[in-house]
Amino acid sequence: MIAMFDSGLGGLSVWQAVSAALPQWPITYLADQAFCPYGQRSREEIAERSVKICRWLAEEGASILVVACNTATTAAIADVRRELAIPVVGIEPAIKPAAAMSRTGRIAVLATEYTLASERVKTLLDAHAGDVEVLRRPGAGWVEQVEAGDLSSDATRELVRAAVAPLLEQNIDHIALGCTHYPFLAPLIRELTGDGIRLYDPAEAIARRVESLLDEQGLQPPAPRRHRFITTDPDASGMSQRLPALIGQPYVVESLRLQ
Ligand code: DGL
């Protein structure tokens, strides 16, 4: 199976892309909701959680692991790779394609405070931004709204407006979505940007990467295809109620105590 994890429900935006690209493969998705959000935690805390989760997923029989969280990729992908013998795919803000396509010479990246302040983003900017100016903004409160399943209330709309409206006066033409929770708020972002600004969600690129690694390794999907959804929240009912709105179908959610 393909294993995937995030601090919470955001990685389901990656789940959608991977599950559509690889219709034969079962996916086990783990949401670390007991520790969500990661964006305000220390590197050590995020790395410790990530390694623990990945070890557990590998023991469950993962053929490949997707870190469906920019923050965990930034903080912990090296630790995770050191621990696991299977291929590990991480996710990072699509600064490279957004900068390459920019005509106005200005783009924005929206991500958690942790990701925005990271060396990883600094390296991406140094390597790929060139002369393009990259405005960095956190989506304050966005992760919490997605976790609560609130994708369209006035309160959510206001949080989206607070982060995006100031960018609209800056002549940007691309926005890289650098947190896997944010694509669920894309309809609200588009209400503000219209079609003139392109949103970059790297989920489909991740799905292509997973596909090519599985091909390279000659791995075949186990039958039958059975997806699993797991939360570290002792109460699985929250996640199970949110799944239809986020991925279009209900599933049973298991609760896992991981200490
Ligand atoms: N979904 C995660 C990301 O891609 C982070 C959310 C959080 O702060 O936990 O960065």
Match 């607070």 to its residue by tokens. Answer: 162
Please tell me the predicted confidence (pLDDT) of residue 40. Answer: 86
Please tell me the predicted confidence (pLDDT) of residue 240. Answer: 97
Residue 13's closest CA among 70, 95, 61? 70
Tokens of 178: 């650098």
- 69 C-alpha to ligand 1 centroid (Å): 5
143 CA: nearest ligand 1 atom: 6
Indicate which residues carry an active-site annotation.
69, 179
Bridge partners, residue 175, by sequence: 108, 199
Tell which one of 4, 5, 6 to mutate to probe ligand 1, the residue whose CB is within 8 A of the most ligand atoms: 6
Helix, strand, coil: what percent of the chain each, to 5? 50, 15, 35
pLDDT in tens, the chain (259 residues): 999 999 999 999 999 999 999 999 999 999 999 999 998 899 999 999 999 999 999 999 999 999 999 999 999 999 999 999 999 999 999 999 999 999 999 999 999 999 999 999 999 999 999 999 999 999 999 999 999 999 999 999 999 999 999 999 999 999 999 999 999 999 999 999 999 999 999 999 999 999 999 999 999 998 888 999 999 999 999 999 999 999 999 999 999 998 7
From atom 8 of ligand 1, which residue's Cα is the shortest distance away? 39
- 223 C-alpha to ligand 1 centroid (Å): 32
Tokens of 48: 């410790």
Please tell me the predicted confidence (pLDDT) of residue 38. Answer: 94
Bridge partners, residue 108, by sequence: 135, 175
Name every residue whose Cβ is closer than 8 Å to that of residue 15 and which is 6 or more positions away in sequence. 4, 27, 29, 68, 247
- 179 C-alpha to ligand 1 centroid (Å): 5
39 CA: nearest ligand 1 atom: 8
Q: pTM for the complete prediction?
A: 0.96
The binding-site residues of ligand 1, defined as CB within 6 angstroms of any ligand atom, are: 6-8, 10, 36-39, 69-71, 112, 115, 143, 179-181
**CA 209, chain centre distance (Å):** 15
111 CA: nearest ligand 1 atom: 10
Please tell me the predicted confidence (pLDDT) of residue 18. Answer: 98
- 220 C-alpha to ligand 1 centroid (Å): 30
- 39 C-alpha to ligand 1 centroid (Å): 6
6 CA: nearest ligand 1 atom: 1
Q: Can you tell me the distance from the alpha carbon of 214 to that of 231, in angstroms, rounded to the nearest whole number?
A: 26
Please tell me the predicted confidence (pLDDT) of residue 259. Answer: 76
Please tell me the predicted confidence (pLDDT) of residue 112. Answer: 94
